[in-house]
Amino acid sequence: MASLSKRATVYFDPAIHRALKIKAAETTRSISDIVDDALRRELAEDEEDLRAFEERAEERRVSFDKVLKDLKAHGKI
């Protein structure tokens, strides 16, 4: 992992922290490395989602109410 330029304090649920410690020990990685990788993946997914929203911005919007009525009319609910 590249040298980090910022430090943060993060509080975990005790069970999550225990799982992270075990995973770190079994994979010979630091907790920071595991968390950094997970956050990078999460942020990349967010970027993909935002790009998809932009690409679909011009699509016709359908209200939730209309979707429910359509489902009911077709015997789906």
> pLDDT by residue (tens digit) across 38-68?
999 999 999 999 999 999 999 999 999 999 9
* pLDDT, the chain, mean: 93
Q: How large is the angle between the packed helices 31-55 and 14-27, nearest 10 degrees?
A: 110
Entry pTM: 0.65
Angle at 37 between CA 32 and CA 9, to 5 degrees: 35
pLDDT value of residue 77: 95
Query: Is 30 within 8 Å of 24 (Cβ atoms)?
Result: yes
Query: Is 29 within 8 Å of 57 (Cβ atoms)?
Result: no
CA 61, CA 6: separation in Å to the nearest integer?
A: 42
Query: Is 43 within 8 Å of 54 (Cβ atoms)?
Result: no
